[in-house]
Amino acid sequence: MDEKEKLSLVIDHWIEHNESHMAEYRKWAQKAEELGLGAVKTEIEDAVEKLAQCNDSLQKALKGL
């Protein structure tokens, strides 16, 4: 496997890893809301959005390969 193929696999792994984290963050954002912690929920949702933006950039990088 050459370095370009390896990079492609690594980026794909990062995307999947981020998606897993985003699902967990969403679950905890919901729990924060249930606890009456709206501001905490908002911050967690902000983190989810930033990870989604990160994945968008990683997808673009992957397509560039």
DSSP per-residue letters across 8-60: HHHHHHHHHHHHHHHHHHHHHHHHHHHTT-HHHHHHHHHHHHHHHHHHHHHHH
* Amino acid letter, residue 24: E
Tens of pLDDT along the chain (65 residues)? Answer: 999 999 999 999 999 999 999 999 999 999 999 999 999 999 999 999 999 999 999 999 999 99
**Residue 7: what pLDDT?**
98
Q: Please check whether residue 65 is in contact with residue 7, taking contact to mean a CB–CB distance below 8 angstroms.
A: yes
Read off the pTM.
0.88
**Residue 21: what pLDDT?**
97
Helix (H, G, I), strand (E, B) or coil at 4: helix
**Residue 41: what pLDDT?**
98
**Residue 53: what pLDDT?**
98
